[in-house]
Amino acid sequence: MFVINCPYCGERDQSEFSCGGEAHIVRPKQPTELSDDEWAEYLFMRKNIKGVQFERWNHAHGCRKWFNMVRDTSNDKIHAVYKMGEKPPVI
Amino acid sequence: MTKYRINKTRFVDQTKTVSFTFDGKKYHGFEGDTLASALLSNGIHLIGRSFKYHRPRGIMSCGSEEPNAICQINDNTDLTEPNVRATEIELYEGLKASSQNCWPSLNFDIGGINNLISPFIPAGFYYKTFMWPKSFWKKIYEPLIRLSAGLGKSPTQPDPDIYDHKYEHCDVLVIGGGISGIMSAKIAAKNNLKTILIEDKNILGGSTIYQNNKNFIIDNQKSNEWLMNEISELEKLDNLIIKTRTSLAAFHSYNYLLAKENISDHLPLDKKNGSIRQRLWKIRADKVIVAAGAIERPLIFNNNDRPGIILANSVKKYLDFYGVSTGLNNIIFTNNDSAYETAVSLFEKGISVKIVDIRKKSSSNIVKNAEDLGIKIYWNSTVVNTFGYKKIKSIEIMNLSEDGSNVTGNKHKIQCDCLSISGGWTPMVHMHTQSGGKLDFREIDQVFVPTEKSENHINVGSCNGDFELEEIVKNTNYKVKKFLNINEGGFDKISVLCSKESEKKNIWLLPNTISESKTKSFIDFQNDSTAKDIKLALREGFKSIEHVKRYTTTGMATDQGKLSNMHALGIIADTAGVKMGTLGTTTFRPPFTPLTFGAIVGRSVGKFFDIVRKTSIHEWHVQNNAKFENVGQWKRPWYYPINNENLHEAVQRESKAARDSAGILDASTLGKIDIQGSDASEFLNRVYTNAWSKLGIGKCRYGLMLNEDGMVYDDGVTTRLGENHYLMTTTTGGAANVLSKLEDYLQTEWPELDVYLTSVTDHYSTASICGPNSKKILNKLFPNKDFSDEAFPHMSYQDAKIDKIECRIMRISFTGELSYEINVESKYGKSLWENCIAAGEEYKITPYGTETMHLLRAEKGFIIVGQDTDGTMTPIDLQMDWIVSKKKYDFIGKRSLYRSDTMREDRKQLVGLLTDDPNEILEEGAQIVSELDKKPVEMIGHVTSSYFSPNLNKSIALAVVKGGKKMNGQKLFVPMENKNINVTVSDFIFFDKENKRINA
Ligand SMILES: [Zn+2]
């Protein structure tokens, strides 16, 4: 079980958090103008990387804030956490 | 003293007799014994029968790796426990143990016939044999397999013991209380680090504590004497917690570890009462030092499984730690020097001992010591067979050929009553790999050793592949200092003298003169898999170690292959002609040793198993005989039977009353989210399918929420309390998820919106009064309030007071009746409810539960999200086009409603179903077909809700059917086990289609 450094609360047990999947997938501003394929790309397609992955996490049983996390999915090493809207770090 | 208790030691108190029974017979041991050592002291080796062939099996080791000596404890009581290793259980007064896996008795076992027919039970036997004919499976094969499968008996009563969980945090956790663990703990604790040392035995010291040999000297003392002093030093350290009888179960990432402490297992029966049995420690450690030690390997040769064949170091431990001799005429069969320590020990106690060594020579001090004592050594030899059914009687040995691949010369028979075997040592790398660590294969002594990568844990001692005493002591000191960034270790000037092994030889499967098919060379003793099983698997095309393991079941017993995995790998590598390091290892999964279910669940049993949520009105429901239903964690009244009514009778009465006069429902469990902020209206516009901007203050509106994929996610009524203030209700079960989803959009997609969400589900209690007389009841409750349709129309809300209690009244309806929901602060919930009941008495107000609510809304064709929908239904599928705004540019899920798939006309769509026989009630979940004769039968839909409607006096059902929208009036069938039910597709609004009753 990881220890996650919530950008608002500090280090807490993983059991307080839930993972929201891949980060930096922006909801299209004008969905009606997208083709089925383009919409499907947004809706369904995820990279599911083995290695360094940018993810969304929610401090569900804490401050309820969403934030981003850079995690190596092959060894669960957490490289960085940063707030929503902040620029992703270069890893 | 018994015949086999030949030695007095400081670890077993021979003044304190402990009595116990084994298979019903009474025996004696001493305080400090394990069940295994006590049995051996009574000359008992035969403990059980093997799993597949029912061969007699005896105690083989002295620890958690024990494959054979597994027992049933406290048989025929609710404390009974199967699969307890005799080597791990400490003897206590009153212990009752019995053998497992034998019938009718240990000494005469009918299953032993399997041993005679064993040429016909090769690897994969069950897979191959029980395939066909198919009709045999249920009546013959399955009962047969069930009869012979499984180990031991499960208790039939709930576990009466208490188990506990506890969190602990420390700077350094040391796993293992052998010499390297003790040194590590001392170094850490002396340097002001909060340190925990855990050891699964009751006494610290590992195998060094009984290493009483002149060839192993630390600082001019015998190693055991030196270690004894270190342990007493250790006990003086303040910031060190020592936990004995505590075994590590799991080593998770980020140094999160689980350890199980046995608290009262070793206590006499009359002293266990009321105390906690086991505690599971959840430890988060800054640094972890693994000093888990090594396990001695067996040797693989024909008939290597007889009672009396024991690992050599275990023989030494029984002798020097417990004072018990495992035999009086001992032979040691080894491929390495460590077994010579056992030989010297046996010789010094006056026990006859000979040595068979597969090596040609060894020039170490300990071997010279044995030779000087005159112990006979058969060099370059191997055991080719053993004899003796219930206990070993003799062995046959032969010389090895030059390259070790074959045997030469004559067979030589030697008598014995114990054969001590040693195939070298396997480092316990389980903890290291569980934490994510990798392994390297070390060719010279054929072991997997940890590759050090982690900054957060290290391995020291023999689990790291350091086997010689000098290496262990010096490397532990050096590595721990470096790991903890410490200058002074306290062991920097230590001097160690020890015997050093220079000649190494390993043969995974020892050669024989007999053809392989006629040998039984066991690798996995508990699951009875042999070398030839593994070779067969390879011949049949299995290559991956993981596949071979599953096919042959090698390493899959309760000992998890602690003794067998390395040999299985070695034989695979030899047979396939590949290098062992290239095969990889099997994955070591937690727990390291089996955990009791009790330890896993801890205190979360009975009423603490899950959180229970009760409304403030709950006690009233209980007093009024409500039957409850779990909805999420909530307890909701299901129905309120009167005079032994069953569910059906109660629901018929309740629903009739609600439509004829008045009914009342506790609706407090509905999710409630308070929404505030200047962009609240815009926010609702984006999350609901319908438009919200024009909803006036004081008005209510039903909303439908989709997922981004267009599927219905939740629904509920939202009320505009003020200009920038809304109260949203959600389904009872969906409340938490809806809040989380809304927060997600607000924080990540639309951070520009000025909106704040607060869950207020628990803050308010809700009484929902419906029925034609509900207005009269409201008038009585709020005499100053005008409830006329003009002053208080449907879908609106007003504030009011009962005495000083503030109430929010919403005129909304989920039943189709005139209906009011009164919300008060939760603390007034019960008082409100009692007021409502009192005011409604003259109208026979009837409390109703969830079942009646479901029936009433089904009559009206209102969906329940999660019952009539399953995450694959769009609002269009549900014929709810009316609630999907065409004008709004965007809302969650909108674009998905125009995907080619969601626009298909043959999607499952919501319809009503009427049975041709109006008294026939369909089963919810039943499949629907249009053609009975078509093969294969095409299922075109299923029933989602079904009731007998007392208001319509007939059966009604909701269903989803492919292309159902266009099937009104069509005949369909619901095939059941014994009959086909004829149904007709209908409108799904069965009752009051014109919505007259809402304004009645
Ligand atoms: Zn937080």
Report all structural domains of chain B as residue ranges with CATH numbers, in order of start.
Answer: 1-159 (3.10.20.440), 162-294+427-497 (3.50.50.60), 298-423 (3.50.50.60), 514-577 (1.10.10.1100), 610-861 (3.30.1360.120), 862-999 (3.30.1360.120)
Minimal C-alpha gap between B286 and chain A (Å): 11
Residue B212's contacts (CB-CB under 8 Å, 6 or more residues apart) are B222, B224, B320, B345
3-state SS class at B739: helix
Q: What pLDDT was estimated at residue B238? A: 92
Beta bridge partners of B665: B768
Minimal C-alpha gap between A53 and chain B (Å): 18
Q: What pLDDT was estimated at residue B55? A: 87
Long-range contacts of A12-19 (CB under 8 A, 24+ apart): A12/A59, A12/A62, A14/B254, A15/A61, A16/A59, A16/A60, A16/A61, A16/A62, A17/A57, A17/A58, A17/A59, A17/A60, A17/A61, A17/A62, A18/A57, A18/A58, A18/A60, A18/B740, A19/A55, A19/A56, A19/A57, A19/A58
From ligand 1's centre to the CA of B2, what distance in Å?
Answer: 65
For residue B145, report the phi and psi dihedrals to the nearest 5 degrees.
-65, -40
Minimal C-alpha gap between B744 and chain A (Å): 7
**Contact between B28 and B17 (Cβ < 8 Å):** yes
Range A3-27+35-83 has CATH code 3.40.50.720 = no
Q: What pLDDT was estimated at residue B107? A: 67
Chain A nearest-CA residue for B757 = A64
**Contact between B294 and B428 (Cβ < 8 Å):** yes
**Would you say the ipTM is above 0.90?**
yes
Q: Are the Cβ atoms of B744 and A20 closer than 8 angstroms?
A: yes
Beta bridge partners of B258: B250, B282
Q: How does pLDDT run across B652-666, given as a tens digit for each residue?
A: 999 999 999 999 999
Q: What pLDDT was estimated at residue B138? A: 62
From ligand 1's centre to the CA of B908, what distance in Å?
Answer: 42
- Report how far residue B234's alpha carbon sits from residue B223's, in angstroms, rounded to the nearest whole number: 16
Q: Are the Cβ atoms of B253 and A2 closer than 8 angstroms?
A: yes
Q: Mean pLDDT in chain A?
A: 95
Asked, as a colleague might, if the bond just before B67 is cis with ω within 30 of 0, I would say no
pTM of model > 0.90: no
3-state SS class at B486: coil
Of A31, A39, A60, the CB nearest to B890: A31
With left for phi above 0 and alpha for psi between -120 and 50, is residue B655 left, alpha or beta? alpha
3-state SS string over B708-721? CCCCEEEEEEEEEE
Structure tokens at B775: 């207005």
Residues of chain B short of pLDDT 50, as ranges, are: none
- DSSP β-ladder status, B240-243 and B221-222: unpaired
Q: What pLDDT was estimated at residue B48? A: 86
Please indicate if any CB of chain A lies within 8 Å of the CB of B284.
Answer: yes
Which residues from B are below 8 Å from A27, CB to CB?
708, 749
Of A2, A39, A58, the CB nearest to B254: A2
Q: What pLDDT was estimated at residue B139? A: 65
With left for phi above 0 and alpha for psi between -120 and 50, is residue B574 left, alpha or beta? alpha
Q: What pLDDT was estimated at residue B952? A: 95
**Which of A4-31 are b and which e, b meaning 16 or more Cβ less than 10 Å from the residue's Cβ?**
bebbeeeebbbeebeebeebebeebeeb
For residue B874, report the phi and psi dihedrals to the nearest 5 degrees.
-90, 165
- Report how far residue B970's alpha carbon sits from residue B551's, in angstroms, rounded to the nearest whole number: 54
**Contact between B344 and B313 (Cβ < 8 Å):** no
Chain centroid to CA B670: how far?
A: 33
Chain centroid to CA B837: how far?
A: 48
Per-domain residue ranges of chain A: 3-27+35-83
Of B253, B284, B709, the CB nearest to A76: B253
For residue B439, report the phi and psi dihedrals to the nearest 5 degrees.
-125, 150
Scanning B502-560, the segments in alpha helix (DSSP H) are: 531-539, 545-552
- Report how far residue B945's alpha carbon sits from residue B812's, in angstroms, rounded to the nearest whole number: 23
Which residues from B are below 8 Å from A34, CB to CB?
895
**Contact between B510 and B299 (Cβ < 8 Å):** yes
- Report how far residue B592's alpha carbon sits from residue B302's, in angstroms, rounded to the nearest whole number: 29
- Report how far residue B690's alpha carbon sits from residue B884's, in angstroms, rounded to the nearest whole number: 5
DSSP letter (8 states) at residue B603: T
3-state SS class at B183: helix
Q: What pLDDT was estimated at residue B279? A: 97
- Report how far residue B565's alpha carbon sits from residue B588's, in angstroms, rounded to the nearest whole number: 10
Q: Which residues have a beta carbon within 5 Å of ligand 1, which is an ion?
A: A 6, 8-9, 59, 62-63
